[in-house]
Each structure stands twice: as C-alpha cells, then as structure tokens.
Amino acid sequence: MAEHENGKISQRGSTRRVFLKNSGLTVGGVVLGGALGSLLGGNSEPASHTAPAAPALTVNPAEALMFFTPEQYQLTQAAAERIYPKDDNGPGAMELNAAIYIDHQLASPWGINSKEYMAGPFYKAEETQGSQIRILRKDLFLLGLKSLDAYSSKKFESNFIDLAPEDQDLVLTDFSEGKAPDISGVKSTLFFNLLRSMTIEGVYADPVYGGNKNMEGWAMRKFPGSRMTYTQEIQKEQFVKLDPQGLNSHMSH
Amino acid sequence: MATKLPKVPVVVVGMGWAGGIVASELTKAGIQVVGLERGKDRNTSDYAMGHDELRYQHREELMQDLSKETITHRNNEKMRALPMRDYGTFIVGDGVGGAGSHWNGQTYRFLPYDFEIKTLTDKKYGANKLKPEYTIQDWGMTYDEIEPYYDTFEKMAGISGETVELYGKRSNPYPTGPMLKTPIMNMFEKATKNLGYTPYIIPSGNLSESYENPDGISRAACQYCAYCENFGCEYGAKADPAVTVIPVAKKTGNLELRTHSNVIEILNDGSKASGVIYVDTITGEEFEQPADVVVVASYVFNNARLLLNSGLGKPYNSADGTGVIGKNYCYQVSSASSMMFFEDKEFNLYGGAGALGIEIPEFVGDNFDHSEVNFIHGAGIRVTQYGNRPIANNVVPKGTPSWGAEFKDQSIKYANSFFPVKSQGASMPYRYNYLDLDPTYKDAYGKPLLRMTFDYTEQDRELVKYMSKVTHKIAEEIGADIIDTNEEQGDFNVNKDTNTHNTGGVIMGADPETSALNSYLQMWDAENVFVVGASAFPHNSSFNPTGTLGALSYRAAEGIQKYIKEGGSLV
C-alpha cells in the first residue's frame, strides 16, 4: 500500500521535472517568469494574463517559496516524504507541506544559526561534545541536497527524485549512517539529521510555520493542538478524541 | 568608558527566583534595590501564543542567546573543552523570571540527610564508604534550620502537595492540596502499593486550586494544558517570579528594574565589592552601578563565572583540592528508566502539567540501606504526565528505525500508549568535576566563557544500574506489553542528556577553607557580596532544586537585611 502511494508521488515529482525541462521555461536552471506559481501549485495550465481569477478560498498564501529554487523544493519534498511517508495512517511529509516548512525555516534567522555560538576556533569534537562546524544550516541543507543527487547518480545512475522509493531509502540510509561521502568536510549524517528533524517539525509544528497542512499531522496521532484546558479529559479512563486547534484559534481571545 | 551612576544600597544581578525573592523581601523592608536583568521584562501577556512547541521548546524562545554566551565542556582534564554551540542538554533561562518562568514547577524539599550528608554517611557506613575523591560535605546548616524558609517559599508560591512520612518534618501542611490523579498515575500508585511502597503526588508549583499568597498575590488554578517546561504560563497558574515576587517588589516603589542589562564584572578590592559594571545589550553602552551590597543571583554558571572573571574568591584547584570558586559542580543522573508500551490502551496524554506526577520516597537519600551497594544517596522513582507534545514525543520500541515507514507507523500507533517509569538520581561531588574559566573561548563582551569539566562517576553509574532494576520491577507490576529498560549510564554528552538541574560552583558551608559562602550565602572572602542560587548547593540531591533554591533565597534575604543593619560576617 505504502509503496504504491509512494510510487505515485515520485511519479508526480518526475512529471513536474519533465514539464520544467520540456516547457522551455528554464534557462541555465533558472525558472523564468510568472508561470512559477502555477508550476508549484501542480497546475501546468499557463496562468491567464488578462483577467486573473480571484484565488479560491482554499489557497494558502503562505504556500510559496522564500529560499529554495523549484528544483531544490521538489527534491526536498521527495526526501522528506521518505522520512515520513504517506501510509494507511494518513498523509506523508509531501502532502503535509513539510518542504514548505523547511523552506521557510531555512530562510529564517534559524537558517543562519543566529542563536548559536559561532565563534572560533572550530576543533574536531569528541563524541560527547556536540557538533563543532562552521557551516550554516541553510548552506548545509543545500550542499546536502546536491550530495543526495550526486550520490544517487553514482549509486543508481539517476537523480534522487527519479529513483524508486526503495532505492531512495537505500540512499538515505547511507546518509544516515555516514556512508555517503562527507559534505564539505562534515559527515553526511549531519545533513541527514537536519533533514530528519526538520521533517518531523514540518509535519507536527503549528500550521503557522507552513507545514502540518490543515493540522492533519496532529489529527493522525489524535493530538488536539493548543487548547486551553484538559482538566476534564486527563481524569478520564477512556480516550477522549478532540479535533485539533492551532495557534490561530487564540487570535480571537 | 563606563558611565558612573549614583550609588544605591543594594544591586541584584539577575531577576529569576533568587533575585526576585531577595528584591521582594528587601523592598518590602523599605530598602532601595536596583535589579539588573540581561533579558527582557515579561508578564502573562507574553504567552498569548505560548502553546507553540516549535518556538518555545525547540527554538528555546525563553532561553539564553548562545550566540552571546555559552559554556565550554570537556569530560576530563585530558580533553580540550569545546563550546556548547547549540542547546542539547540543559537549558539556561533568560529574562525576568529566569528559569522560574520556563520550569516545570516540581517543588520538593531536600532531605535532612542531604544537609548533613558527610556526617551521617560516615556515622552509618564509616569514613571509607566513598573514595576520598568524592568531596561530599555538610551544608553548614541543618534541615531543622532551613525548614522555616522552605515553609515561607512554599506559601509564597502556593505549592500543592501532600505530606510524606519518609521525608523531613513539616511545620505546616502544603498551602494547597495535591494535583489531580490521572489513569497512568493510578496505575503507578496501584503497582507500587502492591510492592509495599508509599506513593505520593509530586509537590507542584502549578496550582491545584486558586490561591492567594501572604503577599496578597492571587493566582488561578492549573488547567493541565500541557505547556509548562520550556514555556511560560498564560494563566499565571505556574509559580513564576514574574507573577509573584517581582510584582510585589515593584509595588513597593523601592525596586528599580533595569532589563537588557548584562553584568560583566563585580568591582572589588579582594575583600569588598564596590559595585558592578554592566552593558546595555541593546545600545552596547557600559555603566558602573556602585552599591553597598552586591547580590549575585544569576544562573549557576554565571554566578561562578562572574566571580572568576572579577577575581573575587579563591578559584578551585583540582590538582590539590584547594580553593572554592568552581568547586563541587553537580548535575543529576536520570538514565535509569523503563519505557512501557501498551497494545490496547490509549491515555489522554496530550494533557498534563509540568509538575503532574507521582513518586515513591523509598529509594532517595538514606531511606534504604546502602551497606551492600557501591554508592550513596538514591533516586526518585516516578511517573509524570507533562503532556506529550508531538515534535518531542515520537517514542518507539527498541529496534524500530528512527525514520521511514515503520517509524511513522509505530510512532503514531503508540502516540497515546506509552509512558516510562523514570528515575532522577542524586549527583555527588567529585574532585575532578568542576567549573573554571576557559582559556580560549570568549563571550560577546570579550570575557572568558565558563569551562565545565564533568563526567559521570562510578557512583553515578552504580546508582543507575541499581535504580534501573527498581523501575523495571515497577513496570512489570504495572504490566505493559513491551518494557524497554535502560540500565547503563553512558558518558556525559553535552548534546544528548536531558537533565537541566545544574548545581554548585559557589557552595555554602561551615568552613571558609572548603566553602565559598556561609549559611546566609554571604561570601567568606567579601562580606558585602551574597551569591544566591543553586550554585550554593554543596551537592545535588535527587529532587528538583527550586524548592531548596527558594528556601535559601529567603535565608539570604534575611542575612542581607541583618548585614545592612549590623555589618560584618554574619556567622
């Protein structure tokens, strides 16, 4: 079941890539012009130039990029989906917009490690000392994406996004175990850990951050989000299922 | 060049529990206090969007900005200490309220045994129970002497709890009744009673009922909303300096609170302080604040660092065991635990509170016989219900991958069907575990960072082995489908361990040769400097430290008033 669904997703990603390639909209890897929005929306119809329709109510204006190129975004979607795939429980990272979340986080002060101690010197750390690298998260992530493709090409003669899900898992396993080549001098595990933790955050953080679309990440695990009181529920023997509420519900208070 | 300000009677460095209590007591007595806080001012309206797991727990909104200052760590003297660049283990508070804003609210007293640990251990087990490298010592104050201050702190904070027979005698019951009991707490209660233990509800700073304290501060009851640790409480139900002692101090008109004011040096001539130098963190401007009394009330790390960077007190030297500043840094050992998974039970674990839990008193201090074991003291064995937030709680049975299809399926399957029997163990001081100044790394103001040399000791590892068996026995009695027990204490890892109870470095005691402070937390070497906080603990007990920190803060406040009247050494 899971594999079937994942196959579909991979195919969809691949279709977008083919469209990008064939549509002549890219020059030297840069996507041109106003068709970008419709490409990312998964809609290959050219946008109308004369009378733009009012956006449908379901359109989320935050569902847009502030950091990735479209290709980087799609690669991130594909990788995140393998960390947290669609299955019988519900949607995977791709549908939950984890890659939108990752894009927005990497564009934020967190992406440039603004609250970390970044002064040198940078010595090699013992196991117990935490990471001691100078590379910023936003750079590590982009280098990691590049490395994902390079390693996939070496191992399977294909870009990561076009691999079968099982092969994508093999590539990611090698990254997680540090068996893929070092990335600018750091273990591939470091990139993998960043991808993994950001994917989990992207499916479970409040929707204000761009992921956890429609709070479906929360709904899968019956997590009610940020309600104001559970005094009654915590005393009950039976499980009490509550619909999730986000931070947005506190805006009226 | 620092701008020199007019002299004041008292300057307090840090506005958390320690600084807040001191400021509140002094200003109520009519003494003018300047409070310097490096972070921002805060009140409950700061937490209108407080139920945000990412922002507060994983992006550490309420914590010290590590880009400005951090600590360096090494496991032993042979290693090169390196900076803790990101948060992994303990979290260090920042802003008005300090760690008292982001804490869970678990508010215990230490045991009578703790305050006389050296005397009582030697008496019962002989002088050689521990190797001489374990530098345990008495606190210079007995439980009976500190009891009234515990009582004052508990009444101010409105602590909710029930009297425990196996702990120190109380002059009064807790001001409010215990917290609610949930199904998982009932399971622990039943199992531990079957095994002959006497479980009790964890004493809580999250109010079980609405309460008005002796200062006239009214607070509402806890709603069990699940956002305590790392978070601030938008109801004010959690005891927090920002909703208790600091408003009281402000109301007197005698507190001048200056936020964004980071103290970098205590001016002194080696035997007396004349004031402090601080930096306005927004403008970068430097100020000198002269004062008759300097109260150092920041977090454990900065209390020690500020003294070392100011040349105040004799730095500890591990080579010969002399000196005191930086001595007896302790942590806690929490690795012994048994994680339980249930196939056909779901609990309402999305709700909870930071101090909601149940515990047994049989394995703490000297409440059990240590003749046949290679350690002293012990651990609280407990089940807690903090509220399982989804980014942080993806717990899966051992052997499950940490990502991918199986991980997702299992983490969702057990999302509401797991809980651990945990332990929190005492930490004994060790000659080679200490704090000093780092020779290489500096903070944003050019001052050396604090260097921590720390690893778990043999005592810690033996304690964990023993306590893991206790957790396993209780888990079996509860009867879970899967029990994963952790029996080993690995090496201390600055990015992995989860306990945040740091203590010591500027310890109290009866002897100026072996301690930095007397029992009023007055420096032996500088009579007008008081160093308040968990930095004063000569060792760390198995209990959460805030109750004892609060009691000692009231004791210090009394001492400062006495000093202002009489002068000289108070002991």
Res A61: pLDDT: 87
User: CA of A43 to nearest chain B CA: how many angstroms apart?
Assistant: 29
The verdict on A239 touching B (C-beta cutoff 8 Å) is yes
pLDDT-derived band at B280 (thresholds 50, 70, 90) equals very high
Average pLDDT over every residue of A53-65: 74
The owner of tokens 């039943």 is: B190
Q: Is residue A53 part of a domain?
A: no
Minimum Cα–Cα distance from A112: chain B residue: B67
**A22 pLDDT exceeds 90?**
no
Q: Which domain holds residue A241?
A: 223-253
Q: Examine the domain organization and report whether A123 and A244 are in the same domain.
A: no
Q: Examine the domain organization and report whether A116 and A80 are in the same domain.
A: yes
Q: ipTM above 0.90?
A: yes
B408 with A231: Cβ contact below 8 A: no
pLDDT-derived band at B88 (thresholds 50, 70, 90) equals confident
Average pLDDT over every residue of B216-223: 97
Which of A27-31, B32-36, B468-472 shows the lowest mean pLDDT across its residues?
Answer: A27-31
Res A58: pLDDT: 64
CA A83/CA B358 separation, integer angstroms: 36
Mean pLDDT of chain B: 97
Q: Is residue A54 part of a domain?
A: no
Res A57: pLDDT: 56
**Catalytic residue at B501?**
yes
Which amino acid is it at B273? Answer: A
B180 with A2: Cβ contact below 8 A: no
**A45 pLDDT exceeds 60?**
no
Q: Which residues from A are below 8 Å from B85, CB to CB?
A: 116-118, 130-132
Q: Examine the domain organization and report whether A122 and A175 are in the same domain.
A: yes
- pLDDT above 90 as % of chain B: 98
B348 with A233: Cβ contact below 8 A: yes
Pairing, β B526-531 against β B286-296? parallel
Res B251: pLDDT: 98
Res A53: pLDDT: 54
User: Active site residue: B73, B102, B377, B501, which one?
Assistant: B501
Give the CATH number, domain containing residue B262: 3.50.50.60
3-state secondary structure B307-321: HHHHCCCCECECCCC
Q: Which of A114, A128, A193 to mutate to test the interface with B (most CBs of B within 10 A)?
A: A128
User: CA of B328 to nearest chain A CA: how many angstroms apart?
Assistant: 21
**A23 pLDDT exceeds 50?**
no
The verdict on A132 touching B (C-beta cutoff 8 Å) is yes
pLDDT tens digits along B479-493 = 999 999 999 999 999
Q: Examine the domain organization and report whether A126 and A208 are in the same domain.
A: yes
The verdict on B51 touching A (C-beta cutoff 8 Å) is yes
Cβ–Cβ < 8 Å for A89, A203: no
Average pLDDT over every residue of B311-325: 98
Query: Alpha helix (H) ranges present in A97-229?
Result: 98-106, 137-156, 165-176, 188-204, 216-220
Q: A-contacting residues of B 460-499, CB under 8 Å? A: 491-495
Q: Is residue B571 part of a domain?
A: no
**A27 pLDDT exceeds 90?**
no
SS3 B165: coil
Mean pLDDT of chain A: 83
Q: Which of A118, A201, A230 to mutate to test the interface with B (most CBs of B within 10 A)?
A: A230
For B435, phi then psi, to 5°, come to -120, 135
Domain count along chain B:
1
Domain count along chain A:
2
Q: Examine the domain organization and report whether A96 and A149 are in the same domain.
A: yes
- pLDDT above 70 as % of chain B: 100
**A43 pLDDT exceeds 60?**
no
Q: Which domain holds residue B365?
A: 3-566
Res B349: pLDDT: 98
Token code pair at residue B198: 């006497």
B441 with A239: Cβ contact below 8 A: no
pLDDT tens digits along A146-174 = 999 999 999 999 999 999 999 999 999 99
Token code pair at residue A140: 């590590």
Average pLDDT over every residue of B70-88: 96
- pLDDT above 70 as % of chain A: 77
Q: Examine the domain organization and report whether A209 and A229 are in the same domain.
A: no
Average pLDDT over every residue of B195-217: 98
Q: Examine the domain organization and report whether A148 and A126 are in the same domain.
A: yes
**A39 pLDDT exceeds 60?**
no
Minimum Cα–Cα distance from B74: chain A residue: A129
Cβ–Cβ < 8 Å for B300, B533: yes
pLDDT-derived band at A54 (thresholds 50, 70, 90) equals low
Query: Alpha helix (H) ranges present in B359-425?
Result: 405-413
| pTM for the full predicted model | 0.92
SS3 B287: strand
Q: Is residue B110 part of a domain?
A: yes
Minimum Cα–Cα distance from A91: chain B residue: B408
Res B530: pLDDT: 98
Q: Which residues from A are below 8 Å from B226, CB to CB?
A: 230
Of B74, B88, B352, the CB nearest to A234: B352
Q: Which of B70, B350, B492 to mutate to test the interface with A (most CBs of A within 10 A)?
A: B350
Q: Examine the domain organization and report whether A138 and A80 are in the same domain.
A: yes
- pLDDT above 90 as % of chain A: 73
Average pLDDT over every residue of B15-29: 98
Res B496: pLDDT: 82
A235 with B223: Cβ contact below 8 A: no
Q: Examine the domain organization and report whether A73 and A186 are in the same domain.
A: yes
Q: Which of A105, A129, A131 to mutate to test the interface with B (most CBs of B within 10 A)?
A: A129
**B206 pLDDT exceeds 90?**
yes
**A32 pLDDT exceeds 50?**
no
| Cβ contacts of A83 within 8 Å, gap of 6 or more | A93, A172, A195, A196, A199, A200, B403, B404
Q: Examine the domain organization and report whether A168 and A248 are in the same domain.
A: no
**A4 pLDDT exceeds 60?**
no
**A48 pLDDT exceeds 80?**
no
Cβ–Cβ < 8 Å for B384, B356: yes
Res B12: pLDDT: 98
Radius of gyration of chain B (CA): 23
Pairing, β B448-453 against β B71-74? parallel
User: CA of A74 to nearest chain B CA: how many angstroms apart?
Assistant: 18
Q: Examine the domain organization and report whether A148 and A71 are in the same domain.
A: yes
**B312 pLDDT exceeds 60?**
yes
pLDDT-derived band at B498 (thresholds 50, 70, 90) equals confident
The verdict on B1 touching A (C-beta cutoff 8 Å) is no
Pairing, β B255-258 against β B33-36? parallel
Res B484: pLDDT: 98
CB atoms within 10 A of CB B92: 25
Q: Is residue B218 part of a domain?
A: yes
Res B1: pLDDT: 81
**A36 pLDDT exceeds 50?**
no
B83 with A208: Cβ contact below 8 A: no
CA B455/CA B61 separation, integer angstroms: 28
Of B49, B53, B224, the CB nearest to A229: B224
Of A118, A123, A128, the CB nearest to B67: A118
**A52 pLDDT exceeds 80?**
no
pLDDT-derived band at B122 (thresholds 50, 70, 90) equals very high
Q: Examine the domain organization and report whether A134 and A229 are in the same domain.
A: no
Average pLDDT over every residue of B518-539: 98
Res A41: pLDDT: 39
